Structure 1
């Protein structure tokens, strides 16, 4: 099955280009090199703007963090797709923002609200009041826009997509999910369980969202809405990062239910809800016949 594959190595490419430029491993390494190189430059420039100094206000600091998250990922991806893969960036087309992007946002709002609703029903989530003065914009910029776009480009746009083109859907799902879970292992309050939960909730779920829609905007919308609802609205730590939300809340009960200091993402409720959505998306993919076989299998069958 090649209908879901965005890039296929040109048949006229010499052997050295197939291995050193167009192979899955080479493209991932090239992107990683650009990510670190551009990131080094951005890290040097941002402090010059005064956004990271002691006199910087929370909004300026948030703009600084968002720039560090966004610029290396976006610029590296543009170079990768336009100049190495030599194709249009269909998965980030602005025309799909009103459709896939908005659908992702709505889906993220509904999914995380359902998780909080279940925690409330199980007696774990409690609201003691509201904080109308909460400074919500920094969290939206960092945890919503910055993390949503930056992490989705890296994990779904590069790692999952390129691995799927080379190794097939199943291997891409497993490897990208483990990578995403492992990337959160050093967050405050993180445990092996919380990393496994993140691997399922975001690693598998968002990879399947991308597989089914072939739109990064759908992933970005869901990721951003999940983080914003969790921290800015419901006042729950986002992947271990404590947030001040509009609702002043606490969680009680065993860690497996409440998620503990890491937040609701480490709760079996969040993992179970995300797993159910992932299964539904997988059923859609299987019925469509869109599961991508490894490149070597496609070549042997002439697909």
Structure 2
């Protein structure tokens, strides 16, 4: 079930400049970049980017720079360009779907850590009662989840699927998601491939079968927060001091090395199993869209 289809009576110039998949992706990217730039100027003018600024004020300003540009650009794209209701991010979905996503994300990373513990590649050596909870929950958890899921699932996956079909959308969004993480500390070609399979393909498929951004945001948030702040494992190369103090002995292909558990073959295998289950579900319910072979149903829209 797709969210948008180009109006049949749209003139050619609108089809190319406004409604084509590439045009909508470019419009979103330019608008998000412009909003982020203006907000950065405002933060600098207020001095909130300085270490002398109050800690909470700096954190809130950073969180808003994660939230406002991407959510604002997305709502503009949906309401103004596509002229429809953003049913994939409807308020009524935020709490129930978000809660399901949080549970699924916690289950996923806990399963990875459990297997690593069983094979001796995750060893708890103590606890850290003074661990900070608010910053990683707000920034690495909620802020990152909202921004990245809007970009990679709400825009890149959704619009590519509408234009090219489900399988190209999974491939494109996975490649881009893995590619942007090659810049992270401790990243390797393998870690980018691993995260493309895990967060790229798996979350793309999760969005495909649920059509819910709050759900995939919840998965992403719980994944990042529990991996770093609870289990004390680096999150995509970014080291976190977690409540559990641990070591991860063994080869990097098993432990994930300095990049974290996402680069572990265990995480890849579990994500492949989960992705296979989602594909089986999609096939069983006939939701996979192959361009040229079928006409996919459209989600609830607002007439243009």
TM range (shorter): over 0.9
**Alpha-carbon distance in 1 for matches of 2:51, 2:99:** 37
Shift of 1:97: 2.0
Alpha carbons of structure 1 residues 260 and 59: separation in structure 2 relative to 1, 3 Å: farther
Q: Is the 8 A contact 1:259 1:265 kept in 2?
A: yes
Counterpart of 2:87 in structure 1 is 90
Counterpart of 2:106 in structure 1 is 109
Matches within 5 A, 1:131-280: 131-280=128-277
Alpha carbons of structure 1 residues 57 and 193: separation in structure 2 relative to 1, 3 Å: farther
- Give the gaps of 5 or more residues in structure 2: 299-304
* TM-score with structure 1 setting the length: 0.95
**Alpha-carbon distance in 2 for matches of 1:112, 1:60:** 31
**Alpha-carbon distance in 2 for matches of 1:56, 1:227:** 27
**Alpha-carbon distance in 2 for matches of 1:184, 1:106:** 24
1:71 equivalent to 2:68? Answer: yes
Shift of 1:236: 0.6
Classify the secondary structure of the residue corresponding to 1:240: coil
* TM-score with structure 2 setting the length: 0.94
Shift of 1:99: 2.2
Counterpart of 1:288 in structure 2 is 285
- Give the gaps of 5 or more residues in structure 1: none
**Alpha-carbon distance in 2 for matches of 1:271, 1:208:** 15
Aligned partner (choices 8, 26, 30) of residue 29 of structure 1 = 26
- Cα shift readout 1:39-63 (whole Å, capped 9, x = no counterpart): 1111111233443212135544332
**Alpha-carbon distance in 2 for matches of 1:42, 1:283:** 43
Counterpart of 2:302 in structure 1 is none
- Cα shift readout 1:157-195 (whole Å, capped 9, x = no counterpart): 000000000000000000010000001001000000000
**How many aligned positions are there?**
298
**Alpha-carbon distance in 1 for matches of 2:96, 2:138:** 22
Aligned-residue RMSD, C-alpha: 1.6
